[in-house]
Each structure stands twice: as structure tokens, then as C-alpha cells.
Structure 1
Amino acid sequence: MTSAVSITLTRQANYKFLVDYGPGLPGGTLDEPAPLGGSEGPSPVQALVTAVAGCLSASFVFALAKFKEDPGPVAIAATCSLARNEYNRMRVTGVDVTLKLGTPPQTLAHLQRALAQFEDFCTVSQSIRAGIPYTLKVVAPDGEVVKAA
């Protein structure tokens, strides 16, 4: 199966772009941070790390839902590392993700099976992994690490 996702960016001013996701979806704004842009919306790098975190979150919920289990109010934090390459150009060098369960792990009978497979369902993280390394940690509500990769 082949499919496509399309968006349209329209420049508003300087580095500020209006994002159109298509019919029926609210648009948004991308903008570079000051001093280059006006910080009137997330930057493209923030959009990238949002896509990774959002896809991993949805994949995790999907993996547990297959077993009719609910992880509760999952919270996910992601940090994107930036550094200059050999040509002094800024590049994303890594993404670190921490997914915090909303319920104690012992209440999720199929948690280990979900943890073993949910990353494979994530279109975004698996697509960027070849060029941008990322780490993932899943923690219980009390902070106990239930998965680290």
C-alpha cells in the first residue's frame, strides 16, 4: 500500500509560514525563533520533535489497545539535540523521548508485549531513525523505568 500526506506552507512574513493541513483540519503557524524569526509559532525543529513524540505516543496507546488495555493519561517529553556539522550547518543530532505511564505498570497485563512492539508501529520515529538517532524511556507514574532503549 502506498499513500501520501500533503501539507501546504505559505509565507506570511520573514520566516513565518502558515501551515495548511487540508480540508477539515485547523491550520497552524511555523516560525523560527528570534532573532531570525519572530517566535510566532513552533519552529520546524519543534515540529519534527513533536512528530516523533506524537507518533510514539499514538503507537504506544495503539499497542495496548490491541489488548483492550488503557495506559491512562500518558505524558511524553521529548528533547531534540542540535549541533553544527563539519560545514558549520546546524543539524538535529538526536532526540530523547521519555513516555510516562498514567497508570501503574502492574495494572497492565500486556505491558511487556506492548513495549516490545510499539516502536515498530511508529511511522515517524522508524523513518528518521536511519539519519537521526533517538532514545526512548518508558517510566511508571512513580518514576520507575519500565523500558529504556
Structure 2
Amino acid sequence: MSQGEIRVSLTQQSDYQFLIDFGAGLPQLLADEPAPLGHDQGPAPSHMLVSAAANCLAASLLFSLRKFKQAPEPIRAEAVGRIERNAAGRLRMSTIEVTLHLGRKAAEMDHLQRVLDTFEEFCTVSQSIKTGVDVQVAVHDADGVKIK
């Protein structure tokens, strides 16, 4: 059952640089691969994957604390994504480690342990990564003919 759709469009600008359009009212983002493939002019897709997981977890923690009328601000997140080669020799994101920092002391917040036990379940991105996302790919040529 679908609960919504997120649509983005990417347009190649130069080499491995793609302008990402998130839709009306949202700023566009230039993505690029690191050198020597790209020109380091924007975050790479792997950077965006790591930042998406960290952002979603930070937002989920904030959401969960606010449900109990707690004000943990400012929340800060640090994330490390590790890229390794799989058995076939292909580069894959093997782990994403996210560290969240609250802006207040734990002793100052009510219901903190309950929040810590459950907030990750609200994170759409990290939970999707953990369980695996069904990625379906189609390829069309310049005439719009589907070739894959």
C-alpha cells in the first residue's frame, strides 16, 4: 500500500555532474562524483545516502522527544559510511554509523529511555536501508524506446 511518492529528476550537466530537481519550491542540488571520475563539485550519491540516513534518524529522535513535550535542541548528527568491495569486487556501502548528540543533558529530559528504545522505528530511510529497498530500473533511448 503506497503512502506517498517522492519524485526527483536528474539532468546531466557535465561528465558525472547531475543537477537534481526535487520539485517546485525546493532548491536544486548539483551532485558529482569525487575525482578522478568527477570534479568534486557537489556531494556524491554515497554522501547523500549517508546524510539521508543521519538526517532521518536525527529528525526521528526529535519527533519522538517532542511527542513527550521535550525540547532536545539543538540536535547534531555525525555519520560515517564505509564503502568496501563485495565478493564480486564491486564497491558497496557496507555500514553507516550515525552518532546523534542532544543539545541537553539526559537527566533534564523525561521519558528519554522510552524514546531511545523506539525512535529508530520512525526513520523511513534507515529502516528502508536495513531491510533492503526494491530498486527497479528501466532504460529508454533518445526516442523514448524502452531498451531495458
TM-score class normalised by the smaller sequence: 0.7 to 0.9
SS across alignment from 2:18: strand
Q: Distance in 2 between matches of 1:97 and 1:80?
A: 9
1:131 Cα deviation after fit: 4.3
Q: Which runs of 4+ in 1 moved over 2 A?
A: none
Number of residues of Structure 1 aligned to a counterpart in Structure 2: 132
**Aligned-CA RMSD value:** 1.2
SS of 2:89 mapped into structure 1: coil
The corresponding residue for 1:61 is 62
Partner of 1:138: none
What's the CA shift for 1:127?
0.4
Alignment-mate amino acid for residue 32 of structure 2? D
Flag the structure with higher strand content: 1
- Gaps of at least 5 residues in structure 1 are 133-149
Relative contact order, higher structure (CA 8 A, sep 6+): 1
**Counterpart of 2:22 in structure 1: which amino acid?**
Y
SS of the residue corresponding to residue 79 of structure 2 reads strand
Shift of 1:2: 2.3
Q: Who is 1:140 aligned against? A: none
How does the TM-score come out when normalised to structure 1? 0.86
Residue equivalent to 1:101: 102
Distance 2:114 2:86 in 1: 39
**C-alpha separation between the residues in 1 aligned to 2:107 and 2:3?**
39
Counterpart for residue 32 of structure 1:
33
- TM-score, normalised with respect to structure 2: 0.86
Q: Whole-Å Cα distance in 2 between the matches of residues 72 and 16 of structure 1?
A: 35
CA distance, structure 1, for counterparts of residue 70 and residue 12 of structure 2? 44
CA distance in 1, matches of 2:117, 2:88: 39
Paired-residue identity, %:
47
Query: How far apart are 1:88 and its partner, in Å?
Result: 1.3
Q: Following superposition of structure 1 onto structure 2, how do residues 1-149 of structure 1 map, counting pairs within 5 Å? A: 2-131=3-132
Give the partner amino acid of 1:91.
Answer: R
Q: Give 1:91 shift.
A: 0.5
Cα deviations by residue, 1:33-82 (Å, 9 ceiling, x for unpaired): 00100000000000000100000000000000101111121111000001
Provide the C-alpha distance between the structure 1 equivalents of 2:127 and 2:24, rounded to a whole number of angstroms. Answer: 28
Bigger CA radius of gyration: 2
